[in-house]
Structure 1
Amino acid sequence: MTIRNIEMMQLKFFFLLCCAAVALAQDKYTGKYDNIDLDEILQNRRLLLGYSNCVLDKGPCNAEGKELRSHLEEAINDGCSKCTDAQKKGANKVIDHLIKNELDIWREMTAKFDPDGNFRRKYEAEAVKRGIIIPEEGA
């Protein structure tokens, strides 16, 4: 094997690695907003309503809201498989908060994105494991 052949093989290998890295990077949602202060949003009803109205197509969206809305249904349906670790942790925090403090918003979102209740039951069961009490329907 000549040096030229070895160089060509290395170049091909490098190219394949680059392609694999791009493919893997596309398997996750952008981490651009992973450092957003969820506590600030959850503790400020005006901000929370702004985001929930955006997601529910009931109001305008800022850049973060548009990003969330564009991936929310897919994330719900595939168990957040493309979410970063920060996004999964944040999703649990938001779900817990909505169930405990904003049940009407939680129910409106689950009605829109999970009308059959398949994923709602899964997420609520996980919330119960974290100590969240789910009020009965009509409560």
Structure 2
Amino acid sequence: MHCIVVLCALVVAVVARPEEELAFYNPQYDSFNAQEVADNIRLLKNYGKCFLDQGPCTAEGTDFKKVIPDALRTSCARCSPKQRELIRTVIKAFQTKLPETWDALVKKNDPELKYKADFDKFLQGTDMKMKSGFVLCFLVALTAAYDSSHDDFDIDGLVKNTDALKKFNNCFVHDTDCDDNSSHFKKDIPEAYQQACAKCNQVQKHILKKYIQALKEKLPEQYQEFKNHYDPEGKYTLPLETAIATA
């Protein structure tokens, strides 16, 4: 963690600035009139049929349907504040006006109800900005970035060497063949996997992206081994790989 005092000073300096929207999902439909859909039962039913594969979809309906599973699993972690507002509006309309449709959507996308409790909390939440610089400083301390001392690691050299790639995976999965570099990265992988690399800087995201891509392409069995080791229930892989896709 670098100088937290400097970070806190920066946080206090910018706390009054408008929050930048982190449109992790495509921002194309951020101006979509969700309230119009919520107020129009015919439109709401049509979107419900689209999402349930029971009727035709509009262009935006098709795009919305693609992100529903991920948004449900992650409690909309990759939504911008505007997108969270739109999703809450539409889903609450389903819950109050078409509860059977909402139950069918939950059954389709979360049949074991693994994510229901967390998603319900998200639906009841708000996105009001924190006004306390001291609270934000505390959060900065909690979410400080990972150690960047190995950010100059030659990931391109590693992914070209299949034997070296195998050794890295052996370290990550079996605790064998570890060296200084693989040991350094290994200590952060469990948390990075579960938090979609939230504390990674862009260089670290790029390193992880290149590593995972190389495993998929050159060592698919080792990729499955890596994925099963860090994500045995299959909850974190999609959010992680989506978060690092553009790094």
Q: Residues of 1 paired with 2:212 and 2:153: CA distance?
A: 16
Structure 2 CA distance, aligned partners of 1:93 and 1:30?
19
Determine the structure 2 residue equivalent to 1:17. 5
Give the letter aligned to residue 56 of structure 1.
V
Q: Which residue of structure 2 lines up, in the alignment, with residue 101 of structure 1?
A: 218
* Counterpart among 10, 18, 43 of residue 160 in structure 2: 43
Report the TM-score when normalising by structure 2: 0.41
Shift of 1:61: 1.2
Q: CA deviation at 1:17?
A: 3.2
Measure, in 2, the Cα distance between the counterparts of 1:30 and 1:58: 21
Indicate whether 1:64 and 2:178 are aligned. no
Instruction: Specify whether residues 27 and 123 from structure 1 end up closer, same or farther in structure 2 by C-alpha distance, changes over 3 A only.
Output: closer
State the Cα distance separating 1:18 from its structure 2 match: 5.0
CA distance in 1, matches of 2:211, 2:148: 17
Q: CA deviation at 1:110?
A: 0.8
CA RMSD in angstroms comes to: 2.8
Q: Match for 1:89 among 206, 210, 216? A: 206
2:146/2:200 contact within 8 Å kept: yes
Answer with 32-41 or 94-103: which moved more.
94-103
Match of 1:98, SS? helix
| Alpha-carbon distance, 1:120 to partner | 2.1
How far, CA to CA, are the matches of 1:99 and 1:51 in structure 2?
Answer: 14
Structure 2: distance between partners of 1:61 and 1:97: 19
Distance 2:160 2:7 in 1: 42
CA contact (8 A) 2:169 2:222 kept: yes
Runs of 4+ in structure 1 off by over 4 angstroms are 21-26
Distance 1:77-1:89 versus aligned 2 partners, 3 A rule: same
Residue 19 of structure 1 and its aligned partner are, at CA, apart by 7.8
- Cα distance in structure 1, aligned partners of 2:224 and 2:212: 11
Question: Which of 93, 98, 116 does residue 233 from structure 2 map onto?
Answer: 116
What is the rounded CA distance, in whole Å, between the counterparts of 2:219 and 2:167 in structure 1? 14
AA matched with 2:169:
S
Gaps of 5+ in 1: 1-15, 131-139
Partner of 2:54: none
State the partner residue of 1:30.
Answer: 147
- Any conservation in 1 of the 2:172–2:182 contact (CA below 8 Å)? yes
Structure 2 spans left out of the alignment, 5+ residues: 10-136
CA contact (8 A) 2:158 2:165 kept: yes
Could you tell me which amino acid in structure 1 is paired with residue 8 of structure 2? A
Per the alignment, in what secondary structure is the counterpart of residue 56 of structure 1?
Answer: helix
Structure 1 residues 19 and 120, CA gap change in structure 2 (3 angstroms): closer
